[in-house]
Amino acid sequence: MRLLARQVAVYGSGRLALQLVSFVTLPILTRILTPDEYGVIETVTTLLAIVALVASLSLESAAQRSYFDYTPEQERERQVVLSSAFWPMVLWAAVLAGVTAALSRPLSNLLFDTPSYAVVVALAVAALPVAVATTLLLEVMRLRMQPIRYVLVSWFGAILSVALILYLVAVADRGLRGFYLAGVISAVPTFVVAASAARGAIRRTVSWPILKTMLLYALPLIPVAASNWIVQFVDRLFVLHFADLHELGLYALALRLSNVLLLVVTAFAFAWSPFILDLFSRDPERERVVRARALTYVAFATAFVAVCLSVYAREFFRTITDPAFADAHELVGILCAGVFALGLNAVTMTGITIERRTRYFAQYAVYAAVLNVALNFALIPPFGILGAATATSLTFAALAWWYYRRAQLLSPAPFDLRRIALITAVATVVIVAGTFLTVEPLWLGALLKLPLVLALPALAWSRGWVPRQWVASLRGA
């Protein structure tokens, strides 16, 4: 567990770099860009997500699984696996980026009822092939257990992107075009640094038998990725249709804050997958014990971060952003509930991965997509962005239950569901109370909310959930 915690911390710091764009620029951009323009950014991000989904072909997941089919001594075979995923992905991403850029004008008309954002759409997809290549090179560093290189490359790309965004938007006054132009310019130097850090991992070859094996693994994951896109992004299109860009801009800001929790979840998932597959290959029985223990720790950690973000969301937006964005705080707690469920999935779905039964990922992801679309239709027209956040969270909760049930049938682990339920219940009560506790001035409200934030740690302490060695280490520190 200590090894896993270190891996999460390292990869979390690398993923933290990606959040710099959202948070370092937030106090400035919310005073330059309007909520409507943030709505445009969220819409283009939704479009870019589906293009990237199709571009990846889920080969990065297949490459990870095939990589561990070989031992560390079989370095050449591992290189061939990575190369056989890298070159097809980059070539396919270039084709898709070209097609999307060529269709930027009709896409702008379709999404915004105006061709004015055609250049913005084209700039958003221009860096896609280079970004796909860089992402896979980062994956290489993760698989080769090179966390320092991973972190350095991630931070280099993020800092360069932030600097260019601030210059082009705040200084050069290029607006939304400058926002996306920064991504195009920063992509190339970041790729060069990533290629240097991962040198020797990619060969100038593609093994068609290995590619075929990876595609057979990846094909069931494509509908999974498509369904995940629906669950994570289609609510933006519903909000755009049933509300307006202003509402979508507020929704985007609430998502930015809840994405801090997503950062924690993603960092864990990045470290968890290679860690648990490696452990299973050496000691299957020990893997089940570690899996069960990890679920409790993940539930507690993600619930605590969700509480902190949700309880203090109002004070955050009132302090950091323009007053036009202040109402976004009401959505943060609901969105964090969905991310919490997503965090549990990373552990509970492990049994499906170990048994290579990826068709269940496809099956349940399709169920989730259908449920999400139905909930969006039912909740967004009467409740607006509040309904959108609720639809997303309910969908993630249902998906967590489906994954848990199937994984326990395939490869059961001794999870402590009673403890998970107690953590969830306490966090829910605290988040609801913190969201509706609005006291002026802000400093007094923040002070009064402190006991709410400490409720979960107090519960863990009173129940004896904190290992004694952790307490001793904390006292020593």
The answer as to whether 276 is a domain residue is yes
In a domain, 427, yes or no: yes
Backbone φ/ψ region at 366: left (φ over 0), alpha (ψ -120 to 50), beta: alpha
Q: Which two tokens stand for residue 149?
A: 């290189």
Can you give the pLDDT at residue 469? 65
Predicted pLDDT of residue 17:
61
Determine the pLDDT at residue 23. Answer: 67
Looking at residue 117, what is its pLDDT?
92
CA atoms within 13 A on the CB side of 437: 24
What amino acid occupies position 274? Answer: P
Q: Which value, in Å, is the radius of gyration of the alpha carbons in the chain?
A: 22
In a domain, 100, yes or no: no
Instruction: Identify whether 322 is part of a domain.
Output: yes
What angle, 0 to 180 degrees and rounded to 10, lies between the N-to-C axes of helices 313-320 and 284-311?
60
**118: in domain:** no
pTM comes to: 0.70
pLDDT of residue 182: 92
Domain count for the chain, please give it. 1
Query: What is the block-wise mean pLDDT of the chain (477 residues), using blocks of 10 residues?
Result: 64 60 73 86 86 78 75 79 84 91 92 90 92 87 79 87 90 90 92 88 81 77 74 84 84 84 79 75 82 86 91 86 80 90 86 78 85 93 91 91 88 85 89 84 82 83 68 66
Q: Which amino acid is at 183?
A: G
Give me the pLDDT at residue 4, please: 65
CA distance 43 to 51: 13
Distance (Å, whole) CA 208 – CA 196: 26
Specify the pLDDT at position 48: 87
176 part of a folded domain: no
CA distances (Å), 464 to each of 93, 289, 461, 467, 468, in order? 51, 19, 5, 7, 9
Residue 59, CB half-sphere, CA atoms under 13 Å: how many? 29
Report if residue 62 sits inside a domain. no
- Could you tell me if residue 476 is inside a domain? no
- Which residues, at least 6 apart from 122, have a Cβ–Cβ distance to it below 8 Å? 100, 101, 104
**Which among 396, 388, 390 is positioned nearest to 338, based on CA atoms?**
396
| Res 395: pLDDT | 92
Region of 323 please: left (phi>0), alpha (psi -120 to 50) or beta. Answer: alpha
pLDDT of amino acid 371: 93
**Contact status, residue 379 vs residue 388, Cβ threshold 8 Å:** yes
- The residue range of the domain holding 362 is 221-464
